A = this chain, B = another copy of it.
Amino acid sequence: MTAFTPKNPDWRRQVQDSFARQTFMTTLGVRIAALEPGRCELAVDRRGDLCQQHGYLHAGVTTTLADTAAGYAAFSLMPARSSVLTSELKINLLNPAAGERLVAVAEVMKPGRTLTVVRADVFGETAGERRIVATMLATMMCLADTPEQG
């Protein structure tokens, strides 16, 4: 992995504050598991009310987790007073979303002034062992001078 230098010395709080404002993360019970410049890991526990018709976690949960991890991996490298939006994402679902929890690991592949391309893998974790569930490729957009909070 490439090491990235954040443009905002306060990048960690920038990410945490934005994440805390996403009410959907609270609804799903998603938490930040790890955070570095250009890298974000999010986790969500299996819950009976987040499932698809076969009792696995819904593909929408898997995708939401990967998308949000990718967004914050990108946001960690963006300048102060900016905000981040998902431009597009593509995900391949490789295995059923089984396990006690899902973990999404997102890493920036190419940071840019406007567009940042991020790769994210999602794993099902049981008793500390991880099995890949999905892989995503996404483009995140930086909106400059649009601070997320007044």
Residues of A whose CB lies within 8 Å of any CB of B are: 18-19, 21-24, 26-27, 48-54, 58-61, 63-65, 67-68, 83, 85-95, 109-110, 114-115, 117, 119, 132, 135, 137, 139, 141, 148
Contact = CB atoms under 8 A, between A and B. Distances in A.
A23 B51 CA distance: 5
Question: How many monomers of this chain does the complex have?
Answer: 4
A120 B73 CA distance: 21
Contacts of A141: 115
- Chain A binding surface, main DSSP class: mixed
Nearest to A149: B53
Contacts of A87: 92-93, 115, 139
A135 B109 contact: yes
A61 B137 CA distance: 18
A27 B49 contact: yes
In order of increasing CB-CB distance, the 4 nearest A-B pairs are: A60-B64, A24-B58, A90-B90, A21-B53
Nearest to A21: B53
17 contacts: A22-B51, A23-B49, A24-B49, A26-B49, A27-B49, A27-B50, A59-B86, A60-B61, A60-B65, A60-B67, A63-B64, A63-B89, A86-B93, A87-B139, A88-B88, A88-B139, A90-B90
